[in-house]
Amino acid sequence: MPQLSNSILVLLGGGHASGKKTTAIALKKELLSSMPESSINVKIIDMNEYTTYGKSSVDSSQFPNSKSAAITVNKEEFFQSFPKLKPSRFDFTRLKNDLNEMNQTSSDRSTQDIIIVHGLYALYDKDLREMSHIKVFIDSDSDTRLIRWINRDVLTNKVESLETVINAYLLGARIEMSDYIFPTKEFSDVIMPRGFDANAVKLIIDGILLYFNDKSIQPKRSSLPANNLRPAVIGNFEKEKFDVQKNKFYQLN
């Protein structure tokens, strides 16, 4: 599937509660604050909107709320009683159709359209990757992600119980991460190893600029904090364009 021609597509993939949504929001905010007024149109798409559940990437209600479930469940009972979390619960066809439609109805050339898609499987589908311009994998260690998940759904939003989240993680999400999500890391152009990172956001914006239809649109650099990741000479960086064909990626350690 060809790369979108009228819109710039940025994919943000990674594990459960790794910071994908936070990065997408920060990226949009930074773009809108640093670019000339009315020069860009930024849209964020949450891949959870393309599941039957629709609320989050994992339907925790499918997992037990017992404090000891993850410890006492035997292997046979596990495969009989609990769903194996797979990428098939996401409607990739509908997502790609929507993206193509957005691209076809893209605004006039004086305004650059930027679409940011974030989700567990943002880097999973081959056609989706080919449509994109920049692919980012947001990584983080498993303990940190679980703590963030608990903080988000149990302590902050109060939509899940602690037991349900822990069981969903131990009986589903942890396996899904190793089987399906972590392998998509190899398709990324940029790897953020510790979740959301402000410097990484600015690096991604530099990559986005290279795909602007109107090259005269430039950010208000004076408004951006100093960033030692941003090359001093943008011309040298432009040759790369996050081009996966050069077998290069940026890992922000």
DSSP summary character for residue 211: T
d(CA 113, CA 57): 26
Q: Quick one: 68 exposed, middle or buried, by C-beta within 10 A (0-12, 13-18, 19+)?
A: exposed
Q: What pLDDT score does 232 carry?
A: 41
> 218-247: per-residue pLDDT in tens?
787 544 444 444 444 444 445 455 554 444
d(CA 230, CA 214): 21
Q: What pLDDT score does 47 carry?
A: 96
- pTM beyond 0.85, yes or no: no
3-class DSSP state of 219: coil
Q: What pLDDT score does 41 carry?
A: 94
Judged against a pLDDT cut of 60, whether residue 80 lies above it is answered with no
Q: Which residues lie across from 45 on neighbouring strands?
A: 117
Judged against a pLDDT cut of 90, whether residue 87 lies above it is answered with yes
Rounded to 5°, the CA angle 170-172-174 comes to 60
DSSP summary character for residue 249: -
d(CA 228, CA 199): 8
The band of 76, judged by pLDDT with boundaries at 50, 70 and 90, is low
Report the percentage of the chain scoring pLDDT > 90: 55
Q: What pLDDT score does 77 carry?
A: 55
Cβ atoms 133, 4 nearer than 8 A: yes
Q: How far is CA 177 from CA 14, 163, 212, 236, in A?
A: 9, 20, 34, 36
> 113-129: per-residue pLDDT in tens?
999 999 999 999 999 99
Kindly list the structural domains of the chain, giving each domain's residue range(s) and its CATH number in brackets, ordered by start.
Answer: 7-251 (3.40.50.300)
The band of 170, judged by pLDDT with boundaries at 50, 70 and 90, is confident
Q: What pLDDT score does 116 carry?
A: 98
Q: Beta-carbon neighbour count of residue 157 at 10 Å? A: 10
